Amino acid sequence: MDSKDVEVVEKQLGRPPRGLREVAHRCPCGNPDVVETAPRLPDGSPFPTLYYLTCPKAASAIGTLEGSGLMREMQARLATEPELAESYRAAHDDYVARRDRAAEAEGLAPLPRDMQSTGGMPERVKCLHALVAHELAVPGANPFGREALDALPDWWSEGPCV
- For position 42, what pLDDT does the model report? 87
Tell me which H or E stretch contains 36.
strand 32-37
Question: Residue 2: which pLDDT band, with cuts at 50, 70 and 90?
Answer: very high
Is 90 exceeded by the pLDDT of residue 116?
no
Nearest to 23 by CA among 13, 14, 33, 10: 33
pTM comes to 0.96
Q: What percent of the chain has pLDDT over 90?
A: 94
Residue 114 predicted with pLDDT over 90: no
pLDDT of residue 113 exceeding 90, the answer is no
Q: Could you give the residue ranges of the DSSP H alpha helices within 107-155?
A: 128-137, 143-151
Q: What is the pLDDT of residues 37-81, one digit of tens each?
A: 999 998 989 999 999 999 999 999 999 999 999 999 999 999 999
The DSSP symbol for 20 reads E
How far lies 34's CA from each of 39, 76, 82, 98, 130, in Å? 15, 28, 29, 15, 10
For position 63, what pLDDT does the model report?
97
The whole-chain average pLDDT of the chain stands at 96
When pLDDT is averaged across residues 122-145 and rounded to a whole number, the result is 97
Distances (CA, A) of 138 to 48, 95, 157: 17, 9, 22
